[in-house]
Amino acid sequence: MDLRTLTEINAPAGHEQALRRALLEEVRSMGLIPYLDRMGNVVCVKEGTGPAPRKRVMISAHMDEVGLIVVSATEDGFLRVTPVGGVDPRVVISKRVLVGDDNLPGVIGATAIHLQSAADRRHVLGYNEIYVDIGAKDKAEAEGKAPKGTYISFDTKYVEYGDGFACAKAFDDRVGVHTILEVLKEDYPVDVIAVFSSEEEVGCRGAKGAAFSTEPDMGIVLEGTTCNDLGDVPDPLQVCKAGQGVAVSFMDGASIANRELFKKALALGQEQNIPCQVKSSVSGGNDGGVIQRAREGVPVVVLSVPCRYIHSPSTVIKLSDAKSQLDLTKALLRAI
């Protein structure tokens, strides 16, 4: 399954069914036996080729993406929404969306600039001032087509452009999902516990249960991270740079990397000519935090693909960075 297919499947946090079905089918086609746990994670254990007892290494990537959810409808038929995950309201105005499981087309709207005062134009709109237009004639029609609790996804097609770049929604974290699928095609001396986790964008909920139940000896978290490498950003403020390889985190807002795994990842990158860089910002958080704290504790390292405009309808990555994430993950699994 390629990145285009993965990113164009709609799976906002808590409503990952479409992607879950696709992943179950894909993993089964490899001759493996995946299962669903109570949190809706897709889990697959691929036994290693090394002598027993073997290390059990959990590799995790989250299925879910950021999106919106319907909270009410106005009398004239517009949908009021709130974000699912961290979505800056400044990036959603005028974007096309797909509403509900039937992919009803809609547009995110706000008061036209012609009707705004100077004060209005300096004001950042909140979600209480944003609506989704689905063409309904009144409240009854809007509620009939999109009742409260209906999920909304961004309508963004995958496109490759420029010098090896790609733009899509949900690279965070379909790029990690794609890496796991590629990893499962090969054998390793360790037992690989592949976890496609649920609900990361709303508090890393799925990975917590998966790490508790599978009892890994260590964890490798495959993510996307903001890179902030635009031309007018001073170097000290750039988190990482697109095109310079997978970003290895020493610490973020949720976890501290195991020092041996962190150093091993960087050493393998140098030894095997796998482009990698150190993530320079201690910010954000991901499934590494809940995996690290499972049971008596799990050593973890996070390998992230740099993403421009993360958590927006149009995220950009350099495809070579996705390849380096895959190559470094394979190298770690073989070297542990």
Question: 115 phi and psi, to 5 degrees?
Answer: -100, 5
Q: Bridge-partner residues for 167, per DSSP?
A: 159, 316
Non-local CB neighbours of 78 within 8 Å, separated by 6+ positions: 109, 131, 132, 133, 136, 142
- The answer to whether 77 and 194 are in contact (CB under 8 A) is no
Query: What is the length of the chain?
Result: 336
CA distance 317 to 62: 17
Structure tokens at 303: 């390998």
- Of 206, 170, 171, residue with least CA distance to 66: 170
Catalytic site residue from 16, 26, 199, 200: 200
Describe the strand order of the beta sheet including 165-168 as a list of residue ranges: 159-161, 165-168, 315-318
Token pair belonging to 287: 């499934």
Hey, which residues does 61 pair with through a beta bridge? Answer: 196
Query: Which residues, listed in sequence order, are joined to residue 307 by a DSSP beta bridge?
Result: 226
The structure tokens listed for 150 are 């209906």
Tokens of 239: 């988190």
3-state secondary structure of 288: helix
Active site residue 182: no
Which are the catalytic amino acids? 200
